[in-house]
Amino acid sequence: MITRNPGGLLGPAKHAIAEGDLVVMYQGFGQMTPLFVKAGSILNNRHGAFHHDDLVGQKYGAKVHARTSQAQGKRQPGWMHVLQPTAELWSSCVLQRTQIVQPSDQAIIVSQLWLRGGSVVLESGTGSGIFTTALARVVAPAGHVYTFEFNEHRATVAAEEFLRNGLDHAVDVAHRDVCGEGFPAELNNKADAVFLDVPNPWLAIGHAKRALRKGGRLCTYSPCIEQVQRNCEAMQAEGFHSIKTIEVRLRHFDVRETAFIQPVFITKEKTIQDFKEYTERRTAALERKTAMEAAELIAAGSEKSDHSDPSNDGSLLGKRSSSSLSSSSSTTSSSASTSSTSSSSSTSSSTGGGSQDKEYRGKPRKLPKKEQKDPPSDTITTACPVPKMRGHTAFLSFATCD
């Protein structure tokens, strides 16, 4: 005999666990086990043996420890968290007898069907009852969900689960082929929304129109685009308007703070100015080099004349005098050139001297390590999509009854 559980999914909020309550044993991410607390029962898993008697009186969210370990003394007994069930937790841990409506699709459907507390919803395709549970949570307690399943066994199992979970006051389950028989006549013009999750929903769109109130909303859940095409054609033929189709693709993003180096941009004017300065430095360096070579030649000539024989004839003296005159004139010219470039050479020496006389290649001069500065950096918050993304689930087609 299946009894109604007052502490189910839609039952009153409780702080402590009592015998008969539905709880969710949380092992880790994606590892949850639903169970009804029963005196004398034991839950065995890799963490150890958890006695139901130890759960009674515990607060929801508490950490419970196993009495014994499955490793036979090689490992200490583990622990788990005991959680109060919700529609989201139930959809993640219940045994899925059929393909379910994913939570991301559930949110869009509830929004686009304009559901609220007190709405009357008709569903064709109960399946595992997960989306029926979500609908009941939205419309309860004043509203109601009428769900129909063409498979008799699945309809029976779903009705038992709804009773155990405390949803029987908000959900009615019936074994019925809506595509062939339509909805019951007593529901005509009473539904605020109709949801069709069947292989050939275009066959049930005419029945849905008779059950909907004026302005009611219709939704079909179809995995193939060919089904969507036939559904939209049937909606147009039945006089529905505001027809649209949505595909929900869930993508997670990794949000983090990232450091980056600020780029340094060189303009055309800056490049021309750098080349001009380089040309001036190069010219000054060449002039200094020429002056130094001239000075060395003069010095070498004077030393040679000082060490020559004084008994030489007049021709030699004449040659010495002529060479002296030429050397003096060259000295005068070199000194003039030196004085004319003194200002530019002083400027050049103040900006780095001979280290800047290398050939210009259009690149900035490299500074010694002690003069180098770290490039300016900054941080920014980025959101990068995670490579893995949930694939296609279904196309959701919506329309409004005229």
Read off the pLDDT of residues 162-177 as tens digits, 9 standing for 90 and up.
Answer: 888 888 889 999 999 9
Lowest mean pLDDT among 181-195, 217-231, 281-295, 368-382: 368-382
pTM: 0.62
pLDDT at 196: 97
Per-residue 3-state assignment (H helix, E strand, C coil) for 169-233: CCEEEEECCHHHHCCCHHHCCCEEEEEECCCCHHHCHHHHHHHEEEEEEEEEEECCHHHHHHHHH
Phi, psi of 176 (to 5 degrees): -160, 140
pLDDT at 391: 72
pLDDT at 373: 61
Q: Please, what are the domains in the chain?
A: 22-85 (3.10.330.20), 93-253+391-400 (3.40.50.150)
- Tell me how far the alpha carbon of residue 325 is from its chain's centroid: 87
The token pair that represents 294 in the structure block: 């001239």
pLDDT at 308: 58
Question: Taking 70 as the threshold, does the pLDDT of residue 237 lie above it?
Answer: yes
Strands 31-36 and 22-28: antiparallel
How many angstroms separate the CA atoms of 369 and 118, rounded? 75
Q: How confident is the model at residue 351 (pLDDT cuts 50, 70, 90)?
A: very low
Lowest mean pLDDT among 63-67, 94-98, 183-187, 210-214: 94-98
Question: Hey, which of 29-33, 44-48, 147-151, 301-305 has the most confident mean pLDDT?
Answer: 147-151
Lowest mean pLDDT among 10-24, 265-279, 301-315: 301-315
Mean pLDDT along residues 62-66 = 91
Q: How confident is the model at residue 326 (pLDDT cuts 50, 70, 90)?
A: very low
How many angstroms separate the CA atoms of 314 and 350, rounded? 51
Q: Count of CB atoms within 10 A of residue 322's CB?
A: 10
> Between residues 70 and 104, which one has the greater pLDDT?
104
Nearest-10 Cα torsion for 314, 319, 323, 325: 50
3-class SS of residue 368: coil
Q: How confident is the model at residue 313 (pLDDT cuts 50, 70, 90)?
A: very low
> Between residues 275 and 359, which one has the greater pLDDT?
275
Question: Taking 60 as the threshold, does the pLDDT of residue 254 lie above it?
Answer: yes
Using left for φ > 0, alpha for ψ between -120 and 50, and beta otherwise, residue 12 falls in beta
Mean pLDDT along residues 335-346 = 43
Mean pLDDT along residues 328-346 = 43
Q: How confident is the model at residue 210 (pLDDT cuts 50, 70, 90)?
A: very high
Long-range Cβ contact pairs of 301-306 (< 8 A, separation 24 or more): 301/327, 302/327
**pLDDT tens digits along 127-136:** 989 999 999 9
pLDDT at 321: 44
